[in-house]
Chain A
Amino acid sequence: MSNLLHFSETTLQEVALGIMAIVYITRLTWLMRFKAGKERQAATGLGDTTPRKGFIYSWANVAMPWGMESTRTKMFLYSQFVVFHLGVVAAIALSFIIPYAPQLLDSSTLVLVLQIATGAACLVGVIRIIRRMTDTYVKAISTPDDHFSLWLLTVWFAFAFLAVPNSTAGGEWHLLTYFILTAFFLIYVPFSKISHYLYYPFTRYYLGKSLGRRGVFPLRRVN
């Protein structure tokens, strides 16, 4: 392994992670500086739900495609969401496995699982790029950041797919590119829309808490 690859796998990642953590903390501190709105009124609804039930339901919503009309009626899009995010988990896990626990990749099953996850996510990335560029509605709301973030992740998935076997037999370029992209990704994330997962727990918590108190969450539906 070249010094450059070793540096990219370790020091570069650690620095990038450090920067990401600092920016994240700054971002969260900024969000928490805004006062949370308070509800004074007595609870409404049938009394079978509470703010607690509401926010738990709200958080669990991500795994309940039947819960929202927007996911229930667009299962193909929902499946893309699942595949894409599993790919993110796999590609991030890989960036720790290769430098710190490479022996895990001796398992051909794990290699296969990681390759399926990143490969499928890459494919979904391509589908999403096409959708973002062609769907009238999505195109109209897309910023340069939306486009760039999607391209970045899709290319990153492709290199993660190539990096999974952790083999330098055909050269180091694919591993090097994967780790440099990972470091860039880590630094870029807090500045971009990719940081949405940082806000997700907050937005869904507050919405769930409020709608739980008001007897709206968990949603009742009769079809």
Chain B
Amino acid sequence: MSKEKRSHKAQKVIERMGKKLNRQVVGSLVACVHCGNCTDSCHYVLANPGDPTYAPAYKADRIRKFFKAHYDWTGRVFPAWVGAKSLYTDEDLEELKDTVFGKCTNCRRCTINCPMGVDYATFNRMARGLLVSVGVMPEGVAVVSKDQWEIGNQMGVLKEDYLDTLEWMSEELQGELEDPNAGIPIDKEDADIVYSINPREVKYDPRTIADAAKIFHQAGANWTMPSEGWDMTNFGLFSGDDDLGGAVARRLYEKVSELRGKKLVISECGHGYRSTRCEGQNWAQWDIDFVMESSVITMLNYIKEGRIKVDKTRNTTPVTFHDSCNNARSCGLTEEPRELLKLVCTDFREMYPNRAENYCCTGGGGAMSMSEYTPRRLKSAKIKADQLAATGAKIVVTSCHNCVDGLADCIKHYKLGMEVTQLVNLVANALVIEKKVTVPVAEPIAASDLQGRRILVTDDEPDFVTFVSTVLEDNGATVFRAYNAAEAMEIARREKPDLITLDISMPDKDGSEVFADIREDDILKRIPVCIITGQPELRKLIYDKPHRPPEGFVSKPVTEDGLLLNVKKLLKVAHHQPEGVRKQ
């Protein structure tokens, strides 16, 4: 087919490739000897035996083919002989999209297993960027990229929501420590530490923010959180869009400079750490004048320096550690988390293989945002599931928010009955807090936090309904149980509860449709709704609706504490109470 017949997008992809090629990438594109050694280093291959289209070299060849056809003269002179083939149609681009987004998490495990040093993951990212530049990408990638470009963070968290959450967490902390100075300082200038987080923490897991704040406070740190430019994640790493990568990183660097912060501490997130600490300056072409550090290292140093004291006997459940691909294979962060874990837990069990040889959580490379590939992702997660099960641990710890979601999905799908948590939670739990001596005030036991609140719990899993209902009832709430959409609507109309919790996937009617029905009902539309789902990637179904978004969104698995935090926030009930009435 001639150049004239090539689609506009295909032509642009080919032209733009020339601008993206550097010596490292070209080396990787020409050096593969098709030896097949990397084949079974990929979790997709292991989970799909006999299907060569998942093999790293096969996938790499989809990109290599058009590189050879246009940029390597062996391919121009003898195309069929060396396997060169150009891209012509938009269908060709769709096929390429399926490979580079849907069959690879850019985990780099094949890279470290290639004797030739071929770094497939790096040029797979380049190919993603080329497709994104012509608008060919999974919908989730488009949505998240747009949020990060326009709102400044990849989950579309509005500034007021972010500040509101910090304020709420500050109150939590002040209440818990009974110390009015134990808040979260915002935009404090000349602080030793500027703490940046993943928007997932604001949206689904604010407890990690409170835990980090508690640790900083106990360590007596001079720290702050920025009111803007606080998102250390960077979807540019996943989409291959260096412009987005650079813009996002620069936003964060500029804010730290503006506040004259001495050190940027990055909360536990693999891709956030890699993007901010290792790649951001390269994408942004920006040299910084402050130090950057993972919060794992910060916490470890606090213990080593005696700035905080921990009691490991508070974390006795057997734990294992999952190395995030970005931390382990691209940033060398493998030993510090283990050292820290051993200081705060009594029963740490290594996972095999580990460190740079660990398998991907299968949610990496932005896979959690590409719901069209979910079945494929969950199938490939079998490798991770087997690895997790073999540890015999009850909790898997990971220093990555993306991995938290990927692992939670894997655990749920393969019914492993494990919990996922992060180091910050374990450190906070193990903190030895020296309380000020106060004379106990004999107060009557107050009514439970949720006394008088009426909550409708909707989920098609009876066990889950029982769990949520029990937790809420133990805290004083009156709970109505619904196991399908019809029941939920009927009870909602009859009882007009103070809060509705809603699952997304239900057998009779999709949770997103129930949500729409609630929002369109003149009476019910005022009731706050909290989505509790095991498929966070389906959030688009809810957020794309032309209605006011849900007041809460929680991913399964849900802990008792996490559930209460969210429910109380939504009902505007302070989570903390005087020590005398705290529920243990």
Known: A37-B24, A214-B331, A220-B355. A208 touches B117 (CB 8 A): yes
B31: chain A residues at CB < 8 Å are: 196, 199-200, 202-203
Known: A41-B282, A71-B37, A199-B30. A58 touches B357 (CB 8 A): no
Chain B residue with minimal CB distance to A139? Answer: B52
Residues of A within 8 A of B (CB): 30-32, 34-42, 44-46, 49, 58, 61-62, 68-71, 74, 77, 81, 135-146, 148, 191-193, 196, 199-200, 202-204, 206-208, 210-211, 214-216, 219-223
Chain A residue with minimal CB distance to B281? Answer: A40
Contact A145 B82 (CB under 8 A): yes
Cβ of A128 to closest chain B Cβ, rounded Å: 9
Contact B282 A40 (CB under 8 A): yes
Chain A residue with minimal CB distance to B38? Answer: A70
Q: Tell me, in angstroms, the Cα distance from A38 to B22 when the chains sit together.
A: 10
Contact B356 A219 (CB under 8 A): yes
Contact B82 A68 (CB under 8 A): no
Residue among A39, A74, A81, A143 facing the most chain B CB atoms (10 A cut-off): A143
Q: Give the interface segment out of B106-114, B218-226, B308-316, B536-544.
A: B106-114
B286: chain A residues at CB < 8 Å are: 40
A137: chain B residues at CB < 8 Å are: 36, 39, 45, 52, 55, 58
- List 16 A-B pairs, Cβ < 8 Å: A36-B23, A41-B278, A68-B112, A136-B52, A137-B52, A140-B52, A141-B55, A143-B83, A145-B81, A193-B34, A196-B32, A207-B117, A214-B331, A215-B333, A220-B334, A222-B350
Q: Tell me, in angstroms, the Cα distance from A49 to B37 when the chains sit together.
A: 27
Q: Tell me, in angstroms, the Cα distance from A211 to B274 when the chains sit together.
A: 13
Contact B55 A31 (CB under 8 A): no
B467: chain A residues at CB < 8 Å are: none
Known: A31-B27, A46-B335. A69 touches B353 (CB 8 A): yes
Top 4 A-B residue pairs of the complex, sorted by shortest distance between their CB atoms: A215-B332, A45-B332, A140-B52, A143-B83
Chain A residue with minimal CB distance to B45? Answer: A137
B30: chain A residues at CB < 8 Å are: 31, 199
Q: Tell me, in angstroms, the Cα distance from A216 to B323 when the chains sit together.
A: 13
Q: Tell me, in angstroms, the Cα distance from A214 to B45 when the chains sit together.
A: 28
Confirm or deny: B9 has a beta carbon within 8 angstroms of a beta carbon on chain A: no
Q: Which of B23-54 contact A (CB under 8 A)?
A: 23-28, 30-41, 45, 50, 52-53
Looking at the complex, which one of B57, B61, B81, B287 makes contact with A40 (CB distance below 8 Å)? B287
Contact A31 B23 (CB under 8 A): yes
Contact B331 A145 (CB under 8 A): no
Looking at the complex, which one of A32, A39, A206, A221 makes contact with B355 (CB distance below 8 Å)? A221
A220: chain B residues at CB < 8 Å are: 334-335, 355-356
Looking at the complex, which one of A44, A62, A138 makes contact with B333 (CB distance below 8 Å)? A44
Contact A196 B116 (CB under 8 A): yes
Taken residue by residue from 313 to 357, chain B's Cβ proximity to chain A (1 for < 8 Å, 0 otherwise) reads as: 000000000000000111111111000000000000010111111
Chain A residue with minimal CB distance to B74? Answer: A191
Contact A141 B287 (CB under 8 A): no
Cβ of B471 to closest chain A Cβ, rounded Å: 39
Cβ of B334 to closest chain A Cβ, rounded Å: 6
Cβ of B89 to closest chain A Cβ, rounded Å: 23
Q: Tell me, in angstroms, the Cα distance from A74 to B36 when the chains sit together.
A: 11
Contact A138 B34 (CB under 8 A): yes
Cβ of B161 to closest chain A Cβ, rounded Å: 31
Q: Tell me, in angstroms, the Cα distance from A142 to B33 when the chains sit together.
A: 9
A41: chain B residues at CB < 8 Å are: 277-282, 292
Cβ of B1 to closest chain A Cβ, rounded Å: 21
Seed contacts A69-B357, A70-B38; 4 additional CB < 8 Å A-B pairs? A44-B277, A137-B52, A145-B81, A203-B24
Looking at the complex, which one of B52, B61, B113, B352 makes contact with A68 (CB distance below 8 Å)? B113
Q: Tell me, in angstroms, the Cα distance from A31 to B330 when the chains sit together.
A: 25
Cβ of B86 to closest chain A Cβ, rounded Å: 16
Residue among A139, A146, A199 facing the most chain B CB atoms (10 A cut-off): A199
Contact A141 B52 (CB under 8 A): yes
Cβ of A113 to closest chain B Cβ, rounded Å: 26
Contact A70 B113 (CB under 8 A): yes
Q: Tell me, in angstroms, the Cα distance from A46 to B31 when the chains sit together.
A: 31
Contact A206 B27 (CB under 8 A): yes
Q: Which of B51-82 contact A (CB under 8 A)?
A: 52-53, 55, 57-58, 61, 73-74, 77-78, 80-82
Confirm or deny: B449 has a beta carbon within 8 angstroms of a beta carbon on chain A: no
Chain B residue with minimal CB distance to A191? Answer: B74
Cβ of A27 to closest chain B Cβ, rounded Å: 9
Contact A34 B21 (CB under 8 A): yes
Cβ of B583 to closest chain A Cβ, rounded Å: 41
Contact A142 B113 (CB under 8 A): no
Chain B residue with minimal CB distance to A37? Answer: B22
Contact A74 B22 (CB under 8 A): no
A193: chain B residues at CB < 8 Å are: 33-34, 82
Confirm or deny: B115 has a beta carbon within 8 angstroms of a beta carbon on chain A: yes
Cβ of A86 to closest chain B Cβ, rounded Å: 16
Chain B residue with minimal CB distance to A62? Answer: B115
Q: Tell me, in angstroms, the Cα distance from A196 to B281 when the chains sit together.
A: 32
Q: Tell me, in angstroms, the Cα distance from A98 to B280 when the chains sit together.
A: 57
Looking at the complex, which one of B57, B115, B291, B328 makes contact with A216 (CB distance below 8 Å)? B328
A135: chain B residues at CB < 8 Å are: 36
Contact B34 A214 (CB under 8 A): no
Contact B115 A36 (CB under 8 A): no
Looking at the complex, which one of A70, A202, A221 makes contact with B37 (CB distance below 8 Å)? A70
B281: chain A residues at CB < 8 Å are: 40-41
B503: chain A residues at CB < 8 Å are: none
A45: chain B residues at CB < 8 Å are: 331-333
Q: Tell me, in angstroms, the Cα distance from A40 to B246 when the chains sit together.
A: 13
Cβ of A175 to closest chain B Cβ, rounded Å: 30
A196: chain B residues at CB < 8 Å are: 31-33, 116
Chain B residue with minimal CB distance to A77? Answer: B37
Chain A residue with minimal CB distance to B57? Answer: A141
Contact B58 A44 (CB under 8 A): no
B209: chain A residues at CB < 8 Å are: none
Cβ of B389 to closest chain A Cβ, rounded Å: 19
Contact B117 A200 (CB under 8 A): yes
